[in-house]
C-alpha cells in the first residue's frame, strides 16, 4: 500500500504545469519554483515513508503540492535581511543592526543609492578625488583631530592602525585590556593578524607605568603602546592603571605611537543625559593619543564603520597601507555618516535628531505613556490577550556602558491559548517582525526602543499574526 502511495505522488513536471503555480512562475525565478516543487514532493514522500500522513486518504494532488510550492517559493524569495521592531529595550542591539539611522542619514542613503555619485570624483577640479573627504572633514571639525580616516568597521580600524604602525614590531598592552569583543574577536588575535607582536604587561587588575617602562627596557623594537577601552566590562576594587597623560609622555619620550581603541565612539559627554561618563574621542586626543579608533554605529549613532582619528602623519601612514583599500567604506556607509555628523555641531540638535541619543534620554513619563498606549492598542486589536504595564530594565548594548541599566516601562503579554515561547515565535513571524523578550514566564515588549508610531505598528503586526495563526 505504501509503495502504491509513493508511486501516486505527482511528477515535478505535472506540478509545474498546474494552474496553481501560474502566478508564482510569472513572478519568481523558475529555478526557485522548481526547487520548491521538488522540496514539497520530497517532504510528502518522507511523510508517507514514515507513516506520518495526517488521516486517511490518497497522496496529495498536483494542485495541492503546487499551492504549497508557491508559498514555499514566495518565502524563499523574500529577503532574509528585514526591518524589525525592536522591543527588547536594548538600544544598541548588535543582532538587530545596532544604531538606527537618523532621518537625515536615511535621506542621504536613498539619494546616493538612486544613481551615480561623486564617491572618488572632485567636482571642483574634475579630476579623481579621495573617498570619504566629506566625512573626514566633519570628524576633524568636531573632534579637533589633525586628520581622519574611515574604514568598514571598528575591528578593521584597529587592525589597520596596528598593521600600518607596528607590523613586525612590538606593541605593549596591559593584560587587563586584552578584551574579547562581539563575535569572539579578541584583541590578541586581531594583533596577530596585523603582523604586530603582542607584549603583555601588568596583571588583570593592576598595571603600573613602571610595567610599561620595563617593557621598553627588555625590547628594542617596540612601535606602539595600545590602550583598549573596556567597553563591555568593568574591573573594580583593587585596581590600578596609568593615566593617558602618563602613557602619552612615555610614548613621546620613547618615540612610539600611543593608540587607543575607544570601541563605542561617543562624540558627546553622555553624562548630560544622566548616564555614566564614556570617554569621548576629543578627550583622548587632548590627553595625548596619536591615534584613536572607534565604531560608527554605536554611540555615535551612524552606519557601521571604523573611524580613525589622530595626527596627520600617522593617519597618512594608515592611508597608504595596503589594507586600507581592502577595508575601505562603501558609498552608502559614507553617505549615512556624512549626514549624521553635522548634528553634533550642536549637542542639543544631536540629542533630538540621532535616534540612539534620543532613546537614551527619553523621560520616564514619556516611556510610561507609550507603554500604556501600546497596551491599550493591543487590547483593542487583539481580544483575548492579557496585557499589563510594568516597570522594566533595559541596557545600552553594543558593548557600551556595561554597568548602565536603563529604567523603562514594558508591556507584559499573556495569551490563554499560547505559551510565552509561542507568543515570542508568533511575534517574530509577524510582518514586520516584533522582537521582544521573555522574563518571568511572560512575553514582554520594552517601549524604550520603539517610537510612538512603531508601538502602534507592533500592536497591529501582532494582531495580524494572531489572526493568521488562528486560520491555520
Where are the chain's structural domains? 2-76, 85-94+360-471, 103-346
Q: Cα dihedral sign for 115, 118, 124, 127? A: negative
Cell numbers 589622530 correspond to what residue?
310
User: How would DSSP label each residue in 382-426?
Assistant: STTEEEEEEEEEEEEETTEEEEEEEEEEEEEEEETTB-HHHHHHH
For the cut 70, the answer to whether the pLDDT of residue 52 exceeds it is no
Q: Are 272 and 307 in contact (CB under 8 A)?
A: no
Q: Are 63 and 410 in contact (CB under 8 A)?
A: no
Which pLDDT belongs to residue 56?
46
pLDDT digits (tens, 9 = 90+) for 282-325: 999 999 999 999 999 999 999 999 999 999 999 999 999 999 99
- Topology (CATH) of 103-346: 3.40.640
Which pLDDT belongs to residue 472?
55
pLDDT digits (tens, 9 = 90+) for 130-184: 999 999 999 999 999 999 999 999 999 999 999 999 999 999 999 988 877 665 6
β pairing state of 180-181 and 222-228: unpaired
Q: Are 18 and 63 in contact (CB under 8 A)?
A: yes
Which pLDDT belongs to residue 453?
97
Query: How far apart are alpha carbons 137 and 149 in whole angstroms?
Result: 10
Residue 131 burial (CB count, 10 A)? 17
Query: How far apart are alpha carbons 70 and 431 in whole angstroms?
Result: 19
Mean pLDDT of 5-18: 84
Mean pLDDT of 50-62: 66
* Rg of the Cα atoms in the chain: 28
Mean pLDDT of 65-74: 93
Which pLDDT belongs to residue 412?
97
Cell numbers 524589525 correspond to what residue?
84
Q: What is the 3-state secondary structure (H, E, C) of 34-70?
A: HHHHHHHHHHHHHHHHCCCCCCCCCCCCHHHHHHHHH
Average pLDDT for the chain? 91
Query: How far apart are alpha carbons 196 and 188 in whole angstroms?
Result: 10
Asked, colleague to colleague, whether 85-94+360-471 and 103-346 share their fold, the answer is no
Q: In what order do the strands lie in the sheet with 257-263?
A: 147-151, 306-310, 291-295, 257-263, 222-228, 170-174, 197-201
pLDDT digits (tens, 9 = 90+) for 314-337: 999 999 999 999 999 999 999 999
Q: Are 389 and 409 in contact (CB under 8 A)?
A: yes
- Topology (CATH) of 85-94+360-471: 3.90.1150
Amino acid at each position: 500500500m505504501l509503495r502504491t502511495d509513493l508511486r501516486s505522488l505527482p511528477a515535478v513536471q505535472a506540478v509545474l504545469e498546474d494552474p496553481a503555480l501560474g502566478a508564482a512562475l510569472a513572478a519568481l525565478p523558475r529555478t526557485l519554483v522548481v526547487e520548491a516543487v521538488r522540496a514539497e514532493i520530497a517532504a510528502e514522500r518522507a511523510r508517507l515513508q514514515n507513516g506520518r500522513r495526517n488521516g486517511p486518504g490518497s497522496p496529495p494532488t498536483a494542485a495541492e503540492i503546487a499551492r504549497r510550492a508557491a508559498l514555499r517559493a514566495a518565502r524563499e524569495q523574500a529577503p532574509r535581511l528585514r526591518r524589525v521592531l525592536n522591543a527588547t529595550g536594548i538600544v544598541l542591539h548588535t543582532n538587530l543592526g545596532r544604531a538606527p539611522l537618523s532621518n537625515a542619514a536615511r535621506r542621504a542613503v536613498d539619494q546616493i543609492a538612486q544613481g551615480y555619485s561623486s564617491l572618488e570624483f572632485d567636482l571642483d577640479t574634475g579630476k579623481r578625488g579621495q573617498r570619504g573627504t566629506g566625512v573626514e572633514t566633519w570628524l576633524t571639525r568636531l573632534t579637533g583631530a589633525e586628520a581622519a580616516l574611515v574604514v568598514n568597521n571598528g575591528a578593521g580600524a584597529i587592525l589597520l592602525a596596528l598593521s600600518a604602525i607596528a607590523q613586525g614590531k612590538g606593541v605593549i598592552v596591559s593584560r587587563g585590556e586584552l578584551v574579547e569583543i562581539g563575535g569572539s574577536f579578541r584583541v590578541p588575535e586581531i594583533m596577530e593578524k596585523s603582523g604586530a607582536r603582542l607584549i603583555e604587561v601588568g596583571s588583570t587588575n593592576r598595571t603600573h607605568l613602571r610595567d610599561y617602562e620595563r617593557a621598553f627596557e627588555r625590547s628594542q623594537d617596540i612601535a606602539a603602546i595600545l590602550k583598549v577601552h573596556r567597553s563591555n566590562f568593568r574591573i573594580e576594587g583593587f585596581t590600578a592603571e596609568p593615566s593617558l597623560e602618563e602613557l602619552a609622555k612615555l610614548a613621546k619620550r620613547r618615540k612610539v605611537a600611543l593608540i587607543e581603541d575607544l570601541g563605542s565612539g561617543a562624540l558627546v559627554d553622555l553624562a548630560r543625559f544622566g548616564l555614566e561618563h564614556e570617554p569621548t574621542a576629543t578627550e583622548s586626543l587632548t590627553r595625548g593619543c596619536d591615534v584613536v579608533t572607534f565604531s560608527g554605529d554605536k554611540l555615535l549613532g551612524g552606519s557601521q564603520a571604523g573611524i580613525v582619528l589622530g595626527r596627520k602623519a600617522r593617519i597618512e601612514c594608515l592611508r597608504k597601507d595596503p589594507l586600507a583599500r581592502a577595508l575601505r567604506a562603501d558609498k552608502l556607509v559614507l553617505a549615512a555618516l556624512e549626514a549624521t555628523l553635522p548634528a553634533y555641531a550642536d549637542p542639543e540638535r544631536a540629542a533630538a535628531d540621532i535616534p540612539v541619543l534620543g532613546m537614551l534620554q527619553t523621560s520616564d513619563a514619556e516611556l510610561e505613556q507609550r507603554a500604556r498606549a501600546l497596551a491599550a492598542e493591543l487590547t483593542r486589536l487583539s481580544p483575548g490577550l492579557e496585557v499589563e504595564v510594568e516597570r522594566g530594565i533595559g541596557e545600552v548594548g553594543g558593548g557600551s556602558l556595561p554597568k548602565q541599566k536603563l529604567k523603562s516601562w514594558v508591556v507584559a503579554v499573556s495569551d490563554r491559548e499560547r505559551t510565552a515561547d509561542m507568543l515570542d515565535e508568533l511575534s517574530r513571524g509577524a510582518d514586520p517582525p516584533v522582537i521582544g523578550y521573555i522574563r518571568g514566564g511572560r512575553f514582554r515588549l520594552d517601549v524604550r526602543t520603539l517610537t510612538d508610531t512603531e508601538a502602534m505598528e507592533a500592536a497591529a503586526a501582532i494582531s495580524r499574526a494572531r489572526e493568521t495563526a488562528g486560520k491555520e
